[in-house]
Amino acid sequence: GRGRVFCVLREPIRTNRGRTSATSVPEAPPLLEHHLSINVSQSDVGVTEMLQLNEYMRKLSERVNEYMRKLSERVNEYMRKLSERVNEYMRKLSERVNEYMRKLSERVNEYMRKLSERVNEYMRKLSERVNEYMRKLSERVNEYMRKLSERVNEYMRKLSERVNEYMRKLSERVNEYMRKLSERVNEYMRKLSERVNEYMRMLSERVKEYMRMLTSEVIHEELSERVKKYMRKLNERVKEYMRMLSE
């Protein structure tokens, strides 16, 4: 007839192994009947052709639905296998990662163990060096303190000798000075005593002369008593003065 039918071109379906399927159907998206455009004029096509066309469209729709079902099954199977492969890959990857982390942890632990041993060895050697240094330093300090103590003792000994010598000489000088001072004081006291005695002798003579003159002239008795009292006090003061000088 003159009617036109628009449909998808037939192409063979490839299986997973690359072979062509015996029941090839044209590829079409889901619900192919909604995407087929059929323009048939009933005035031009007979009833028989319409029945054949409807039968063809029914079979085509069945084949398309069967193809989509099988395609969906294959896709689901492929996704299942892909999921299994991904899960297997992730499992192996997880095992590898765990193994790597285990080995890495062992290496890190081994490294830390060796590092700890090195640090401990270094600290041990450092402690030995510090102890040796402190021992030598202590010996040097003790030796220095011993020498310093010897020097101080020697200095104190010499200082004590010098002080003793100085005190001895000072004592000699003081004794010599006191001896000379005593001699001078004795000489001064002797001369002073001589002068005082001479003064007292002269004073006594004058007093006697004065008393003689008073007696001869017959002075009033009260005046004579005052003169005697004055001479007595003067004599006591002179004796006290002489006693203080003698002490």
Mean predicted confidence (pLDDT) in 222-233: 73
| Average predicted confidence (pLDDT) for the chain | 77
- pTM strictly above 0.85: no
> Which tens digit of pLDDT belongs to each residue from 5-22?
434 334 444 444 444 443
pLDDT at 173: 87
From its phi and psi, is residue 221 left (phi > 0), alpha (psi between -120 and 50) or beta? alpha
The span from the CA of 131 to the CA of 134, in Å, is 5
Predicted pLDDT at 221: 65
Number of helices (H) and strands (E) in the chain: give both, helices first: 2, 2
- Pair 219, 195: CB distance under 8 Å: no
